[in-house]
Amino acid sequence: MNYLIGDVQGCCDALERLLAQIDFSPSRDRLWLLGDLVNRGPRSLATLRRLQALGSAATCLLGNHDLHLLAVAHGVRRVSGGDTLDDILAAPDRPALVDWLRQQHLARYEAGWLMVHAGVVPTWSLQDTLALAGEVETVLRGPDLPGFLHAMYGNEPERWSPSLTGTDRLRFTVNALTRLRFCSADGRLDLKTKDGAAAAPAGFMPWFDVPGRASRGTPIAFGHWSTLGLLDRPDLLGLDTGCVWGGRLTAARLDGAEREIIQVDCEQARRPGP
């Protein structure tokens, strides 16, 4: 059975309760985690170790918090006030965990679903999304990872063009796949607004509501947007239900054309952040 799981963010106890509730068996089931595996929650180290130990039974996407961990671990960024990454950074198996993390994915297409952490810009098809994610994954796994991490931060360019090259192309791809919530009809990104769908700035809308987007017709599952809450449409699953903010950790069981939503409460309560 295939299970898609929303943002864990270091809430390992909630993850364990969710796995118990679905009676997870690594010999029978597959987990697809939609990114933000770590940070803000109390047990980021335990979460990474648990997921790494599952081997091929768990496939993980990289979210913005996971990329932040890579940047901190490589000396590109400093730990910020809200981070809960110290246990990973001080762990004896830190090198192995960081190396495992950089091998994970920006997008996957499995069980009939395109899976991303945040969103897909209107002009990207399924094939475009997977190809562009692959370009970033190659750099993440390559020898110039620190150089890429230095150049990864920033909100420009704000609109996609196939003519983008180099750092601009990679940065835009990362922003779309790990930070996107709202965009305009012509594909301009808004990367500042973090509230729910009703808070769209003038001229913007949730990325999945853009008319005529090229990925329409491809079922898409995503996380990242805790203020959106559970989104359960026939071709859309938004599964970040704010576990780390005192909400719930959510999984979607996929069984052919049928699916089931499974949730567990999370005792963690923190102020919402990016």
Please report the pLDDT score of residue 256 as a whole number.
77
Query: Is residue 163 within 8 Å of residue 255, measured between CB atoms?
Result: no
Is residue 218 domain-resident?
yes
pLDDT in tens, 23-54: 999 999 999 999 999 999 999 999 999 999 99
Section 131-141 average pLDDT: 98
Question: For residue 81, what pLDDT is reported?
Answer: 87
Whether residue 270 is contained in a domain is answered as: no
Taking the C-alpha atoms of residue 22 and residue 36, their distance in angstroms, rounded to an integer, is 21
- Polymer length of the chain: 274
Q: Using one digit for the tens of pLDDT, what is the confidence trace for 177-205?
A: 999 999 999 999 999 999 999 999 999 99
Please report whether residue 183 resides in a domain: yes
pLDDT in tens, 85-121: 999 999 999 999 999 999 999 999 999 999 999 999 9
Phi-psi region at 166: left, alpha or beta (left = phi > 0; alpha = psi -120 to 50): left
Q: How many separate domains does the chain show? A: 1
Residue 171: give the domain boundaries: 2-265
Asked if the structure places residue 273 within a domain, the reply is: no
272 belongs to a structural domain: no
- pLDDT at residue 272 tops 60: no
pLDDT tens digits for range 50-74: 999 999 999 999 999 999 999 999 9
Does 113 fall in a domain?
yes
Q: Which tokens go with 195?
A: 């509230």
* 271: in domain: no
Asked, for residue 274, whether it belongs to a domain, the answer is: no
Distance CA 38, CA 73 (A): 13
Q: Which of 108, 119, 105 is nearest to 190 (CA)?
A: 119
User: DSSP letter string over the chain?
Assistant: -EEEE---TT-HHHHHHHHHHTT--TTT-EEEE-S--SSSSS-HHHHHHHHHHTGGGEEEB--HHHHHHHHHHTTSSPPPTT---HHHHT-TTHHHHHHHHHTSBSEEEETTEEEESS---TT--HHHHHHHHHHHHHHHTSTTHHHHHHHH-S----B--TT--HHHHHHHHHHHHHH--EE-TT-BEE-S--S-GGGPPTT-EEGGGSTT-TTTTS-EEE---TTT--EEETTEEE---BGGGTSEEEEEEEETTEEEEEEEE---------
CATH number for position 186: 3.60.21.10
pLDDT at 89: 98
What is the pLDDT, as a whole number, of residue 268?
61
Average per-residue pLDDT for the chain? 95
Of 36-45, 146-155, 207-216, 259-268, give the lowest mean pLDDT range.
259-268
Average pLDDT over residues 226-231: 97
What pLDDT does 10 receive? Answer: 97
Asked whether the predicted pLDDT for residue 271 surpasses 80, the reply is: no
